[in-house]
Amino acid sequence: MSKPSLSATPYRPSWPRARIRIPLQKLEDCGLDQTKNNIRALVRLFEQSDWDELRVETKDLKLVISKNANAPGLTVLENAPRTRLPSTADAEITDATEPAAKSEPAEIPEGLVAVRAPNLGTFWRAPKPGAAPYIEVGQKVNADTMVCLIEVMKLFTPINAGIAGTVVELVAENSAMVEYGDTLVLIDPST
C-alpha cells in the first residue's frame, strides 16, 4: 500500500471558526514542530476521538480534519506547492464523447458513462473485507447508489453512481490505488 499524501491550499480567513481549538502555546509545549509525522499523529488521535472536526492554526500551518464527508477535508498550509484535492463526495460523471482529463490506456465505449475518482486514494468495492460488494456487473443502479469507497488516510469517501443505468464494467481493481479522474466503473444509462 502506498503512502498517503497531504495536500496544501492557501489560507482562507473566510472559513468558519473552529469548533475545537487547541491553543498554539499547548502545541509548542508538546514540541509540535509541524512535520508531516506530527500531522499524521494528530490525524491518528483525531480518528480515535469522538470529535467531528479538528482545526489547528499557526502562522505557517492550517490543518482541518473532519469526519463529515461534505466538509472540505484535510487541508495543510506549509512551504510547499499549493494544490488541493477536490472536496466533492460524489464522483465526477463525464460522457464518453467528452475528452478525458488525462490519457487512459483504454477508451470508453460510446454510449457508456464513466464514474471517475474525485480524488486520489485506495479503491474499495465493499465496506469491509469479506462483505458483499456495493455493486456487480449487470446490476441496475440509480444516481444515488453507492458504487464504492475511496480511502485516504483511513478516511473513507463514498462514491455514488451519479446516473441511473446498468453497470457494464468494474474498471478499477479492489484495493488498487486510484488517482483523480481515473475511471472506476462504466455505466450504460440507456438500460
pLDDT per residue, tens digit, the chain (191 aa), is: 555 555 454 444 444 444 444 444 445 545 444 456 677 777 778 787 777 787 777 766 677 777 776 554 443 444 444 444 444 444 555 554 444 444 444 688 889 999 999 999 999 999 998 999 999 999 999 999 999 999 998 889 999 999 999 999 999 999 999 999 999 999 999 87
Per-residue model confidence (pLDDT) at position 40: 75
Total residue length of the chain: 191
Give the three-class secondary structure for 37. helix
Strands of the 146-152 sheet, one edge to the other: 155-160, 146-152, 121-124, 177-178
| 92-188 CATH, one of 2.130.10.10, 3.40.250.10, 2.102.10.10, 2.40.50.100 | 2.40.50.100
Intervals of CATH 2.40.50.100 along the chain: 92-188
The DSSP result for 29-64, as a single string, is: HTT----HHHHHHHHHHHHHSS-SEEEEE-SS-EEE
Decide: pTM greater than 0.75: no
